[in-house]
Each structure stands twice: as C-alpha cells, then as structure tokens.
Amino acid sequence: MAQERLSMRKIREVLRLRWDQGLSYQLVGQSCGISKSCAETYVKRAKAAGLTWPVPEELDDEQLEEMLFKRGATLGESKATPDWKEVHQEMRDKKMTLILQWHEYKERHPDGYQYSHFCRMYRAWQKTLDPVMRQEYKAGEKLLVDYAGSTTPVVNRKTGEVHEAQIFVAASGASNYTYAEATWTQTLPDWIGSHTRAFAFMGGVHELVILDNLPTGVRSAHRYEPGLNRTYEDMANYYGTALLPARVKKPRDKAKVEAAVQGVERSILARLRHRTFFNLAELNTAIQELLVDYNEKPFQKLEGSRKSLFDELERPVLKPLPSSPYEYAEWKKAKVHIDYHIQVDKHFYSVPYALIGQTVEVCLTARTVEILHKGKRVASHARSSHPGRHTTLNQHMPQSHQGYLEWTPDRLLRWAEKSGPSTTQLVDHILASKAHPQQGFRVCLGIIRLGRLYGHDRLENACARALHIHAFSYRSVESILKNGLDQHPLPNNHPDPTPVSHENVRGPDYYRIGTQEGGSCHASTSHPRQAS
C-alpha cells in the first residue's frame, strides 16, 4: 500500500466498528483517525481473506498481518461508481426520485451497488457541496462530552484550603438530555470514571461519543488524524461504542455539548454559587438535585422536556449496559530485562524468557497486570504493592538457565572476579539470597558496571566495606563510591571484610556445578492467576 500500514490493533478496531457496530466507512475513518477510503480498503482485505467478526481470538497479530497483506492478495474488482453530478442534476426535476435513478443505474450496471448503499453514497457526496457541516442527530446515535469552563470551590473543613472542582458534562444528541458531575481533576482516571457514570445515568450506551480534543482523551490533537488515548479506546471497546474527536477549532462539531455546558453553568452552577461545600460528595448531591429540575424543565417552543423526549425517543434504542462497569486500566510499554522480568511501579513481573530484550505492552488494573506481545497475552499476574520485589511464575523460566540464557550466575561471578574476592563474595551473596538467582541479576550487573566508572580497585574496596557493614545492595555500593568511603580504612582497623555467613550462600562453585549437571531453579515467590 502507498500509505503507511496501520498497527494490527488499529485494523482490528476498524473491523469492529464496521462489522460489529455497523458504522459507515466515513465514521469508522473519523473514529480511527484514517481516511474513509483507507478504512474501506482494510475491510475489503479482511473480506478477501475470509475473515468475519469477531476475529478469532487465537489469531495473533503476525497471522492477521499475513492474511491481510500476503503477496498476491487481491481486493476484487470495484463496482461502477455513479456519476453523482448527473444524478444531482436529474434530481432537480420534481418528478425524479432516487429509486428511479437507482433502477436506471442498475440497468446499465447489473452488478452495481444496491439501493441502500446507492443512497448512502449519494448523501455523502451531497455533503461535499456544502463546506459547513450540518449536524444531524438521530436517536441514540451521539453522546457529546466536555468539561465546563467554570469550576466550583470545595473547602477543606480542617485546613480551610480551597480546591476548585472540575465539572464534567455529557449531553445526548437528539434530546439534549444532560448529565453533570464534579471531579477533583481532569486526569484520565476521573475522565474515564465520569464516562462510566454518564452511561449508567443514561441507562444505556450511544453509538458514538463525541469529545473535544482534551489532552486527557486525545493523545495527540490533529485536524485529520487525532490519536486517542489507549485506555479511552479500551473503555469504548468495552461499552461497544466508538469515539469521534471533534475537529480542532471547529465548535460546530460539538455544538450540542457547548449548549449543555452553558445550560449547566447557568441553571445549576450559578444557583450553587452562594453555597459552601466541604467535600465532593456534598457538591455532587446538590448538582444531581438541580439536574433533575434542569432535565424536566419544559421546552419553550416544543412540547415536553429533555427527559420526556429522551425517554420516548432515545432510551429504547440505546445499547444495553454491560453487566458491570468498566474497570479502569492504564497501558504502558516495558522492555523485558535479562532476568526475563519487566518493571512496573518498582515491582518486577516475569514473562516467558524467550521475550528477553523485547518490548511488551502492559495493561494495569487495580488488581491485575496483563502483559501482551504483538497483541497476544503472554502473562498475567496479581498486582503487587511491594516495591523492589519479584513476582515470578515457574513456567516463564527456562528449563536450564545456563543452557538458554546469555546471562548466568556463573558468568556474573566470573565478571566479579576481575575486581576481586570481595566483589565476588558480594555478588554471590546477592544471588544466593534470592528464591531465583535470576532475580538478583539486575542488581549484580549494576554493581559490576560500577567498576567501569570508578575502576576495579575502588569497586573492590567498596564491596569490602559493604560486606563489613552487611549492606548487600547496589545503592549501598554506589553510595560508598560516591562519598569516597572506599578510600578510608574499615572500622575497627579491619583491613579485610568480615566473612559473610548465611545458610543460603552457595559459593561460586555451586553455579558451575549446576551448569555441568543441567541444574535449574524451581521455587516461585508467588502463585498469581496463570497466564494464558
């Protein structure tokens, strides 16, 4: 393809929005930040490959890419496109109808488009004639979201400190039915939480969520290709909706929510301006009470109210809510270290050792850590709040560490011997004190590399002091070197380090014997939910 190929995850999203959500190619393209023709091309490739929705779970990214882009893959011949200028000219005749135009088109092109698609293509072409986008709101189609420009002060009862609460607003397109709430911030957790509560308030899910180009929801604001936050996309996928960012500096794209924001500011926040609130729950209770009046207030020029119109037109056609609200999850990238662990919030989680040196995606919830490689889950752990510790699954370890890993305890000890016996003893002690020697690789490698910066002699002296004071860590050795303590005699006039006596200290020969006998470690520090 002439254009840059999308990631497999983005292509899966294109297929979901087209096949599962039934969105037009234009809306699919806008939601995914690609052109309409590009979205149509990917769907055609998927059809040509024999794919349907849902895409089989066992099909990983590499297999999907092979099916869609293998050599010789064809998209089939395109159908004849009507001459829309001629169609438009004919439609000026009062006696002309679109169905008659379609019949004449099918006589010329029996294999052409069917009537419904013919009409959609013509309506899309018509919009290109008018540079001003006209907003058309159908029942249950769009939910528009934004933050109000005004904030509301909340006073800390103990300290008197004032914190300005942010006001989130969501409006249903066809009825103007409005939801509002106060949050402490506009950060991603509050943004996602406000959406889940807005869906619950509406009692269902709209087909589209129209949002402003907030830094929270949009990773990179761009006129034609806005990049959405991965967590935000994940939430939309969970609720079965699609995200459609408003165009930069185009307020008409979100005119409904701008009007709703103004209504909330004038009808709710203005009425609360003389009240003092001491916590967020108290403020939200007051907002919800006034929100009922706001939604039930009769229209001036139409019959009914926002609520009655919503109940009549929109609530029946909304998609049902999932059985439970979306669980907030953050996405990060991490590199697999030589000890086949990744670091997340200062804790170390194991992955299959074959992924050493690879970059993986990490999905973090309050309870779990899911690790994915090329779109396929490779590990799952219970989330830990203990910094500096390891969570390791036995099945992630090679059957023989010495036979499969470039880095081994024996190799680290041989490197340590270049500096001297104290460095070797310290490295040996760190490896022996771990349930798995590999959990000490990162620390030992850091200590050994200090020799490049300070020299082997100084490192040897620093390790001797660390052994003497029983400080068996990288930070201790680094601190000794930084402060020049290695250049002073040891306390109590002991020129040699005090030998370390520990039941787990195995000695350098242990690892060499293990290599010869093909020994391996089998203990595990924890047993969380198994990875699939």
Average pLDDT across each block of 10 residues of the chain; the chain has 532 residues. List them in order: 63 89 88 86 81 77 75 52 70 68 84 80 63 53 89 90 93 89 90 94 93 56 48 90 74 68 88 91 94 88 80 90 89 86 88 88 86 88 84 75 55 82 87 73 84 87 88 88 86 51 44 33 32 33
Residue with tokens 């916590």: 279
**Residues 56 and 195 reside in one and the same domain:** no
**Residues 338 and 411 reside in one and the same domain:** no
Q: Is residue 160 part of a domain?
A: yes
**Residues 151 and 236 reside in one and the same domain:** yes
**Residues 360 and 494 reside in one and the same domain:** no
Which residues, in sequence order, are bridge partners of residue 305?
Answer: 298
pLDDT for 527: 32
| Cβ contact 152:160 at 8 Å | no
| Cβ contact 504:432 at 8 Å | yes
Residues 6+ apart with CB under 8 A from 160: none
| Cβ contact 355:312 at 8 Å | no
**Residues 215 and 296 reside in one and the same domain:** yes
Domain of residue 202: give its range.
142-317
Q: Is residue 117 part of a domain?
A: yes
Residue with tokens 């009914």: 304
Which residues, in sequence order, are bridge partners of residue 370?
Answer: 363, 380
Residue with tokens 């899910």: 205
Query: What does DSSP say about strands 390-391 and 376-382: parallel, antiparallel, or unpaired?
Result: unpaired
**Residues 478 and 455 reside in one and the same domain:** yes
What is the CA 86 to chain-centroid distance, rounded?
Answer: 47
| Cβ contact 383:69 at 8 Å | no
**Residues 343 and 204 reside in one and the same domain:** no
| Cβ contact 330:188 at 8 Å | yes
What is the CA 237 to chain-centroid distance, rounded?
Answer: 11
End-of-domain residue from the set 396, 415, 439: 396
Query: What does DSSP say about strands 208-211 and 242-245: parallel, antiparallel, or unpaired?
Result: parallel
Residue 15 backbone dihedrals phi, psi, to 5 degrees: -65, -40
| Cβ contact 450:477 at 8 Å | yes
CA gap 440, 444 in Å, rounded = 6
CA gap 397, 490 in Å, rounded = 40
pLDDT for 514: 34
| Cβ contact 429:472 at 8 Å | yes
The H or E element that residue 181 is part of is strand 178-183
Q: Is residue 527 part of a domain?
A: no
| Cβ contact 426:463 at 8 Å | yes
pLDDT for 429: 86
pLDDT for 497: 47
**Residues 158 and 303 reside in one and the same domain:** yes
**Residues 254 and 148 reside in one and the same domain:** yes
The H or E element that residue 330 is part of is strand 330-335
SS3 (DSSP) at 220: strand
Residue 408 backbone dihedrals phi, psi, to 5 degrees: -135, 160
Number of domains comprising the chain: 5
End-of-domain residue from the set 396, 423, 448: 396
**Residues 414 and 485 reside in one and the same domain:** yes
| Cβ contact 350:360 at 8 Å | no
CA gap 449, 455 in Å, rounded = 9
Query: What does DSSP say about strands 330-335 and 368-373: parallel, antiparallel, or unpaired?
Result: unpaired
Q: Is residue 99 part of a domain?
A: yes
**Is 302 exposed, middle or buried (CB count within 10 Å of its CB: 0-12, 13-18, 19+)?**
exposed
**Residues 419 and 483 reside in one and the same domain:** yes
Q: Is residue 531 part of a domain?
A: no
CA gap 187, 230 in Å, rounded = 14
Largest CA distance in the chain: 111
Q: Which residues of 38-77 are buried (b: 16+ CB within 10 A; e: fewer)?
A: bbbbbbebbeeeebeeebeeebebeebeebbeeeeeeeee
Q: What is the DSSP letter of 187?
A: S
**Residues 296 and 197 reside in one and the same domain:** yes
∠ CA 274-154-210, nearest 5°, is 95
CATH at 44:
1.10.10
Q: Is residue 449 part of a domain?
A: yes
End-of-domain residue from the set 262, 285, 317: 317
Q: Is residue 450 part of a domain?
A: yes
CA gap 63, 375 in Å, rounded = 11
CA gap 8, 64 in Å, rounded = 7
Q: Is residue 522 part of a domain?
A: no
**Is 525 exposed, middle or buried (CB count within 10 Å of its CB: 0-12, 13-18, 19+)?**
middle
> At how many degrees (to 10) do helices 115-127 and 98-108 cross?
110
